Amino acid sequence: IMQNVLVSLIIKHEKHIPAASSPGANVTASAARADGNDASTVSKSRRKRYISQNDMIAILDYHNKVRGRVFPPASNMEYMVWDETLAKTAEDWAHACLWEHGPPHLLRFLGQNLSVRTGRYRSILQLVKPWYDEVKDYSFPYPRDCNPRCPLRCYGPMCTHYTQMVWATSNKIGCAVHTCYNMNVWGSVWKRATYLVCNYSPKGNWIGEAPYKVGVPCSTCPPSYGGSCSNNMCFPALKTNYLHWFK
């Protein structure tokens, strides 16, 4: 019988100041370990892309599904698009196989969620869904049973994976998946781990701020969206880079 154990990490955030001069970022991570051996064969050749098209679509669609269904409803939730530059930075960090957030010089500008697991998995969303599941411990606009100011290792409830997912102004995401061998996850060596890194821009999780404004969906969208609304989200009036990534 396969069992999963979840552990979490959070790095403290500074008060909201302009990103260009921000000294720290609020980034979160979760890990899941499954007992058992994965019999699948992994190619040792480096992938041509940072992540497969199917995984990219699954992660992006899941984020937008969650963002469009927040409760209470959001008046300024922006539709999230895939960003290839973010995906490349995520790939660079995933290849380092370090169970920590980074690199530090980018975390001044980016939000970041991490997930790692061993064993078999059917869908990349099994590494993403634990981030959303934190909603059960979240009470808008601020955490109720979870503490964003906890120490570096947090074993109690946390919400900052979830709030980064639904941070209204974080409208770009780029992720990478990498298989890491002999990865050290908080003192335990995982022989073969699937490591997911997702970077967000502009970054969210500013302490003291709510992830979004409550109100009629799309009623307070930035002017740049031209009044366009889709699935309760401010939708880009011009073409996005959503499909450009496939070219």
- 93-141 residue pLDDT tens: 999 999 999 999 999 999 999 999 998 888 999 999 999 999 998 888 8
Chain-centroid distance of CA 1 in Å reads 29
**Above 80 in pLDDT, residue 145?**
no
- 200-234 residue pLDDT tens: 999 999 888 999 999 999 999 999 999 999 999 99
Residue 75's CB is within 10 A of a number of other CB atoms, namely 18
Least trusted range by pLDDT, from 16-30, 79-93, 104-118: 16-30
CA distance 9 to 186: 10
DSSP state of 214: B
Pick the more confident residue, 10 or 147.
147
Residue 16's CB is within 10 A of a number of other CB atoms, namely 12
What strands, in cross-sheet order, belong to the sheet with 172-185? 81-82, 172-185, 188-201, 111-117, 28-34, 4-10, 153-154
pLDDT score, position 74: 98
87 within 8 A of 3, measured Cβ to Cβ: no
**Above 60 in pLDDT, residue 37?**
no
pLDDT score, position 42: 38
pLDDT score, position 149: 53
Decide which of 3.40.33.10, 3.40.50.300, 3.90.420.10, 1.10.8.50 is the CATH code for 53-234.
3.40.33.10
158 within 8 A of 29, measured Cβ to Cβ: no
**Above 70 in pLDDT, residue 24?**
no
78 within 8 A of 173, measured Cβ to Cβ: no
Q: Where are the domains of the chain?
A: 53-234
